[in-house]
Structure 1
Amino acid sequence: MGEACVTAVSRGPEHTFSKGCEPAIRLLEGLGVEGDAHLGVTVRHRSRVARDLSRPNLRQVHLIHAELHEELRAAGFSVGAGELGENVTTRGVDLLGLPQGALLRLGEEAVVRVTGLRNPCAQIEAFRPGLLARVVGRDGEGRVVRRAGVMGVVVAGGLVRAGDRVVVESPPLYRALGPV
């Protein structure tokens, strides 16, 4: 496998499912992606705002691995970068296997702290019928397995572009990711 890298960056100014690919996005410390509907210190996802809009935004940046897109395309689903709502698409990083609190250095300056797994909702099924079953399943012991990427918060801002290197720094203690 080659060097871990960013393959695409996306943002969306409105609360739509998919986000448009951009040449670059700017991450803002403590806020998220400049110009994205989910930018903010407190929750911005519609379902969470309805519950309690004062809660901290642990979902400032959504990352998905390009390998998932390829797997879904091989299964007959037309899916490209940004279409599942992610801001950063990576290659060569086991995003789902990262521990809670792992730091992802994206490019020269930006750093994202991983907060948890994306919890896919019915919007995925509306986007492509049958897709939800491909990104959420159960393991041999009946536990829910979420495969639709990870969420994080921006701890250092900066520009992120396709082709940027990704460097992973794990925290001293491993804590498995849960849904956020």
Structure 2
Amino acid sequence: MARVEALCISDRKGAVKTAVPQAVFKQGWGIEDDAHAGAWHRQVSLLAGESIDRVKELLPELEQGAFAENIITRELDLATLPIGNRLRIGDSVEVEITQIGKECHNSGCAIKKATGDCIMPREGVFAKVLVGGTVTTGDTIVRL
């Protein structure tokens, strides 16, 4: 069953995010206390733990939040989620997929510089929050 492996936030854009045990999702805004929250289409970012595992083969010291991802998933094939698909995370939070991938920073992120590649442009998924609530690490994720 798909689940939340980690939740990560940061207080400024362009920074590595820090793992937190629980996060409050606000409808139409994103995650409370996260710099990427706002009234736009990329309120929350998701990245598969399986994708991160591949990079960790080259950089074993890689920590959660290194790709500026908000939610690290496990057992959810994010690459197959079409734009407009909805997910329920935990008991009540609902998000809608709005974008797949994004451009890497102009000069390339630290991961790309270290490994020669960055997975976020191909494998990162972005969503907006439709129904708010609290999500805890380990919560289930269900496709709606």
Report the more deviating stretch, 71-80 or 28-37.
71-80
Quick one: distance in 1 between partners of 2:104 and 2:138? Answer: 30
State percent identity of aligned pairs. Answer: 30
- Which residue, 51, 54, 70 being the options, matches 1:87? 70
| Contact 1:29-1:154 within 8 A present in 2 as well | yes
Query: 1:40 deviation in Å?
Result: 1.4
Aligned to 2:117: 133
Quick one: distance in 2 between partners of 1:67 and 1:80? Answer: 14
Relative distance call for 1:6 and 1:167 in structure 2 (3 A) is same
Q: How does 1:19-168 map to 2 (within 5 A)?
A: 19-41=17-39, 57-76=40-59, 78-122=61-105, 125-128=108-111, 129-131=113-115, 133-135=117-119, 146-168=121-143
The list of structure 1 runs, each at least 4 consecutive aligned residues, that deviate by more than 6 angstroms after superposition, is none
Q: What TM-score does the superposition give when structure 2 sets the normalisation length?
A: 0.90
Report the more deviating stretch, 72-81 or 101-110.
72-81
Relative distance call for 1:118 and 1:77 in structure 2 (3 A) is farther
Quick one: distance in 1 between partners of 2:71 and 2:104? Answer: 19
Alpha-carbon RMSD:
1.9
Matched, 1:11 2:2: no
1:74 is matched by which residue type in structure 2? E
Whichever of the two has the greater Rg, that structure is 1
| Contact 1:110-1:160 within 8 A present in 2 as well | yes
The count of corresponding residues between Structure 1 and Structure 2 is: 143
